[in-house]
Chain A
Amino acid sequence: MIDREQVAHVARLARLKLSEEEAGEFAVELSAILDHVDLLASVDTDGVEPTTHVVELVNVLREDVPGIELTVQQATANAPESEDGAFRVPSPQAEA
């Protein structure tokens, strides 16, 4: 079960703005999905190692050698807003 309050908290963490209606729908849908997922609790997983991924490699590293860099123009070409070669965003300190 996940209630509307939890939905609001999770949406906040995920930086999603949900309407009242959406929040209510998500509470219902996510609860239904979690009911199915709860099947996982039925298996004994004591002592079972978790799998993060299936590749069994270690120490895959790159040498400390410079690669190709973007120009400032290339770097900011996709930016919604840029200024003097930098990405422009609303200030985190600004009052809403």
Chain B
Amino acid sequence: MDSGGILGLTGAETAGALESGEIASDEVIGAWDRAAASDDLNSWLWLPEAREQEEATGAPVAIKDIFCTEGIPTTAGSRILEGYLPPYDSTAVAKLRAAGLPVLGKTNMDEFAMGSSNENSAFGPVLNPWDRTRVPGGSSGGSAACVAGGTALWALGTDTGGSIRQPAALCGIVGLKPTYGAISRFGMIAFASSLDQCGPLTTNVTDAAMLLSILEGRDPLDSTSTGIPGGIVPPEGEDLSGLTFGVPRSFLEKGVDPGVGDVFERSLTEIESLGGTVVEVELPHAELGISAYYILAPAEASTNLSRYDGVRYGMRVEERDLVEMYEQTRSLGFGREVKRRIMLGTYALSSGYYDAYYARAQRVRTLIARDFETAFEQVDFVVTPTSPSVAFEIGEKVGDPWTMYLNDLFTVPMSLAGIPAISIPAGLSEPAGGGPELPVGLQLAAPAYGEQKLLNASIALEKSIGFEGRTGEVGR
């Protein structure tokens, strides 16, 4: 099989061809190394210059640069970690390696996963393969762009408030955020510890399930990890009969672009044509999600990012005075959005404001989780558009933080509730200002540990929608 043939296989097909001996391990790795090297979207922050002999059982995986990889530069998209070589592997990467899936390279991202456009990377923005003037979404922008652009078969990302689902939607691929605790966070550079969760970005639902089945599991190095009871098997589903899908109409009224709304309505029709029932549900507190999230996540981030102090690793601005060294190092090392969130989070935790902001946001979080519990008494899934809009232009939203934050409006509530949610490509739509059509994502959310059901429903929809894969001309 030639290189093009290998790049055309899905994850499951690649594994099958390797197992049968139809293709060899080094052919697969070589084909993907060449594909990755041909990227021109700024997807990658690191690709290997040379490789030691590795025995692969499947295609190598693109790893978001937020996962520590032993001896491989890991920056989290930040200057402050430039040159840092972790002395250890994250559990997620170790599990992939153990399963015979090597690291293809490290992907670009918003600095410390803070962003929805990948414009906050210290190493330059990533371009959307569907339209290079537009963003790929974020924060796992590099992971989404390389998969959609064909320079990787599949990728690991992290999702704190939508950082897997939103870029997957904007790039026309599948992105899954599992239940909080399903996959170990050990070695995943922390943004907001109570929300961060690792997950796959793939071209299809089966591959997402395949990666999830490898990654999930309780890890003794992560006190908050649980795994998924019963594990994950390859998803199967032809129809949706007997399943009920809840649409939070009043929440969606908060602002969906008309084109995205149209594709979403067509998806609902698709669900019904597959035998599913669509009903309306209420998520009365979901609209407060962004407000709660933008207290909780920055507060946790402000303490998680305090360790970047120029003492043990990373960059340092030499100063004679200790405090001066701290302040200069952190001011030069962190980008604008990261500093903004550190400021916001520090303020929310500071004396006199904790109850008004942090404690209150934690209580609203409880209410949002209860909303979902109530909804799941009536329905199997909650469905929304993944993002209110299709991919927007680079530079379009950088001036106004809150407008940028609203990208996460529909993905944040699931993060706060800790429940699994997937984005699958639902179709194409013109951007609000006109132009070539761009991908729209459909988000399905399930109760905690409902990943298998979620994947089974998603594969039925995937077949029925018949979305035309990734756009990527790159590397072909």
Contact = CB atoms under 8 A, between A and B. Distances in A.
A79 B323 CA distance: 18
Interface in B79-131: 83-85, 87
B134 interface: no
Contact of B224 (A16, A55, A62): A55
A72 interface: no
Contacts, number: 168
Contact of B361 (A10, A36, A40): A40
B83 to A, nearest CB: 8
A79 to B, nearest CB: 6
Interface in A27-55: 29-30, 32-34, 36-41, 43, 45, 48-55
Contact of A16 (B343, B401, B417): B343
Interface in B9-23: none
A78 B314 contact: yes
Contact of A87 (B288, B311, B356, B401): B311
Contacts of B292: 40
A81 interface: yes
Interface string A1-39: 010001101110111111000000010011011101111
Contacts of A48: 363, 366-367
Contact of A80 (B310, B340, B369): B310
B222 to A, nearest CB: 9
A44 to B, nearest CB: 9
Contacts of B328: 17
B363 A57 contact: no
Residue in A7, A30, A55 with the greatest tally of chain B CB atoms within 10 Å: A55
Contact of B294 (A6, A9, A37): A37
A67 B467 CA distance: 49
A90 B365 contact: no
Nearest to B313: A78
B389 interface: no
Contacts of B181: 54-55
Nearest to B406: A36
Nearest to A12: B327
Interface residues of A, number: 53
A74 B87 contact: yes
A96 B340 contact: no
Main secondary structure of the interface of B (DSSP, over half): helix
B316 interface: yes
How many of chain B's residues touch chain A, expressed as a range?
35 or more
Interface string A70-91: 1000110111110000010111
Contacts of B84: 78
B288 A15 contact: no
A66 interface: no
Given A40-B291, A54-B448, A13 B180 contact: no
Interface string B146-159: 00000000000000
Given A40-B361, A40-B364, A78-B84, A6 B290 contact: no
A9 B365 CA distance: 28
B343 A78 contact: no
A54 B340 contact: no
Contacts of B277: none
Contacts of A54: 180-181, 194, 369, 417-418, 448
A37 B295 contact: yes
A7 B369 contact: no
Contacts of B361: 37, 40
Contact of B344 (A33, A40, A43): A33
Contacts of B310: 80
A75 B86 CA distance: 10
B251 interface: no
Contacts of B418: 53-55
B295 A40 contact: yes
Contacts of A94: 320-322
A92 to B, nearest CB: 5
Interface string B348-369: 0010000011011111111101
A77 to B, nearest CB: 7
A78 B85 contact: yes
B330 interface: yes
Contacts of A81: 316
A15 to B, nearest CB: 4
A61 to B, nearest CB: 8
Given A10-B343, A15-B326, A78-B85, A57 B226 contact: yes
Contacts of B344: 30, 33-34
B26 interface: no
Contacts of A7: 343
Contacts of A11: 343
Contacts of B319: 90
A78 B314 CA distance: 7
B38 to A, nearest CB: 32
A6 B347 contact: yes
Question: Which 3 pairs show the lowest CB-CB distances between chains A and B?
Answer: A54-B418, A50-B362, A78-B313
20 contacts: A14-B346, A15-B327, A16-B327, A16-B330, A16-B331, A29-B340, A37-B357, A40-B292, A40-B361, A41-B356, A43-B285, A45-B367, A50-B359, A51-B363, A51-B365, A55-B226, A77-B85, A80-B314, A91-B322, A96-B320
